[in-house]
Structure 1
Amino acid sequence: MRILVIEDDAGIAANLYDYLEHTGYEVDLASNGLAGLQLALSQPWDAILLDLSLPGMDGLALCRKLREEARRDTPVLMLTAKDTLDDKLSGFTHGADDYLVKPFSLKEVGARLGALIKRYKGQVAQGILCCADVRLDLATLTVMRAGRQLKLPPKCLQLLRILMQSPARVFSRVELETQVWGEALGDSDTLRAHVYTLRRALTAPGETNLIETVHGLGYRFVAGRADAE
Structure 2
Amino acid sequence: MSIRILYVEDDKNFAATVLEFLELMGLICDYADNGLQGVTLAKKNQYDVIVTDITMPKLDGRQMCQELRLQGIDTPILMLSALHELDDKLAGFDCGADDYLTKPFELKELVARIKTLSKRRSGNAQKLVIKDLALELNLGEHLAFREGVQLKLTPSGWKILEVIARAYPNCVDRQMLEHVIWGDDIPDSEALKVHIHRLRQRVDKPFSEPLLHIVNGGAVLKRANL
1:133 corresponds in structure 2 to 134
The one-character-per-residue Cα deviations of 1:82-134 (angstroms, maximum 9, x if unpaired) are xxxxxxx99622599xx6618947xx6262xx31xx63xxx43xxx5443234
The one-character-per-residue Cα deviations of 1:128-183 (angstroms, maximum 9, x if unpaired) are 54432344444554444345554332211211122234432332322222222212
What's the C-alpha RMSD, in Å, of the aligned pairs?
4.4
Is contact 2:6–2:32 with CA below 8 Å preserved after alignment? no
1:8 corresponds in structure 2 to 23
Q: Supply the distance in 2 between the matched residues of 1:181 and 1:150 (Cα, whole angstroms).
A: 22
1:181 corresponds in structure 2 to 182
Q: Supply the distance in 2 between the matched residues of 1:182 and 1:95 (Cα, whole angstroms).
A: 46
Q: Supply the distance in 2 between the matched residues of 1:94 and 1:205 (Cα, whole angstroms).
A: 53
Shift of 1:8: 1.6
Q: Supply the distance in 2 between the matched residues of 1:156 and 1:206 (Cα, whole angstroms).
A: 18
1:36-115 map, 5 Å: 36-37=31-32, 42=37, 44-46=40-42, 63-64=52-53, 67-70=54-57, 71-73=59-61, 74-75=64-65, 77=77, 92-94=101-103, 101=112, 104=115, 109=118, 111=120, 114-115=121-122
Q: Supply the distance in 1 between the matched residues of 2:161 and 2:115 (Cα, whole angstroms).
A: 32
Is contact 2:49–2:114 with CA below 8 Å preserved after alignment? no
Unpaired segments of 5 or more residues in structure 2?
8-18, 66-75, 79-88, 90-98
Q: Supply the distance in 1 between the matched residues of 2:41 and 2:26 (Cα, whole angstroms).
A: 23
* 1:103/1:201 CA distance change after superposition, 3 Å: closer
Q: Supply the distance in 2 between the matched residues of 1:110 and 1:94 (Cα, whole angstroms).
A: 24
2:82 corresponds in structure 1 to none
SS in 2 for 1:220: strand
Shift of 1:186: 0.9
Amino acid at match of 1:159: I
2:220 corresponds in structure 1 to 220
Amino acid at match of 1:69: M
Is contact 1:150–1:201 with CA below 8 Å preserved after alignment? yes
2:194 corresponds in structure 1 to 193
Is contact 1:49–1:77 with CA below 8 Å preserved after alignment? no
TM-score, structure 1 normalization = 0.51
1:82 corresponds in structure 2 to none
Amino acid at match of 1:221: L
**Same amino acid, percent of matched pairs:** 20
TM-score, structure 2 normalization = 0.52
1:159 corresponds in structure 2 to 160
The one-character-per-residue Cα deviations of 1:50-99 (angstroms, maximum 9, x if unpaired) are 79xxxxxxx8xxx44xx323344345746xxxxxxxxxx99622599xx6
Aligned residues: 168
SS in 2 for 1:171: coil
Is contact 1:3–1:45 with CA below 8 Å preserved after alignment? no
SS in 1 for 2:219: strand
Amino acid at match of 1:204: K
Is contact 1:3–1:46 with CA below 8 Å preserved after alignment? no
* 1:77/1:103 CA distance change after superposition, 3 Å: closer
